[in-house]
Amino acid sequence: MKALIVGAKGQLGRGLQATAPADAMLTCVDVDELDITQPEAVQAFVARERPDLLFNAAAYTAVDKAEQEEELALAINGTAVGTLADAARAVGARFVHVSTDFVFDGLAGVPYRPDAPTAPLSAYGRTKLVGEELAGPNALIVRTAWVYAPTGGNFVRTMLRLMGERPEVRVVADQIGTPTYAPGLASALWTMARAGITGLHHYTDSGAASWYDFAVAIQEEALAAGLLGQEARIVPIPSSDYPTPATRPHYSVLDKASTFAALGGPTPHWRANLRVMIAAIKSEG
């Protein structure tokens, strides 16, 4: 089985490589090797490689910056997805695309089903919704949220740094979602893709948390593992105390019932995967 991973240097791209099945022959590229906003280059590359699976792990993820760069975000998160989907279709490859909880407005108060009405609040969310539409009906599209991994820029690593530098850290407490460990997401994508599953699905770790809850858990696990030498005071604040250019949904927990059915059971709880992540960081020194 040949698999092409686009966006291979990101958190999810690295996770897809680390969790690839033994029989997978991987071709891994990032923007320095393939600019997915160039249709002719994409079509030629995919035609040459002729993968059985094409994973799109590439994305414009600078949520706040996208408010000023929506055209660029749309080129990467929207138009390029259609280009990749067309190229995959041309060689008979299954196309796997990853989207976001930010396609919702966060007003529901209950977990969002895959078929729930969308209403993105930000440029990032709007561009990701376009990508979903352009991926096509035969693609596997998986929405996720709050992705983190042992490497790369993410909330966990930022919190560990700030807690090691400051006596006090202020964290938003009125945005509720679910953290997602990138290797777990990657493993699920492999399982679903190899099973031939298509359509729109949701994947995060199990449970729910505010960013404040997540930060408290990060410190507790890091202290227990010896990654932090002292305890910082974590102060819960409302979103209004931390204004950002992009509006974020206050509640974006995703309903994962269809995904759990496809995977044969629920995903690990976010706290359990956080512990795995902390152990991985410690082992890497």
- The answer to whether 256 and 193 are in contact (CB under 8 A) is no
Three-state DSSP state, 142? strand
Ramachandran region, residue 106 (left: φ > 0; alpha: ψ -120 to 50; beta: rest): left
Give yes or no: 124 in active site.
yes
- CB proximity list for 26: less than 8 A, separation 6 or greater: 3, 4, 5, 17, 20
Place of tokens 């209403």: 119
Pairing of β 176-177 and β 209-210: antiparallel
Termini Cα distance of the chain: 35
The residue annotated as part of the active site, out of 112, 124, 212, 251, is 124
Place of tokens 């690839």: 20
The whole-angstrom distance between residue 194's C-alpha and the CA centroid of its chain comes to: 20
Q: Which two tokens stand for residue 153?
A: 């820029």
Q: Which two tokens stand for residue 284?
A: 């890497």
Pairing of β 94-100 and β 53-56: parallel
Active site residues: 124
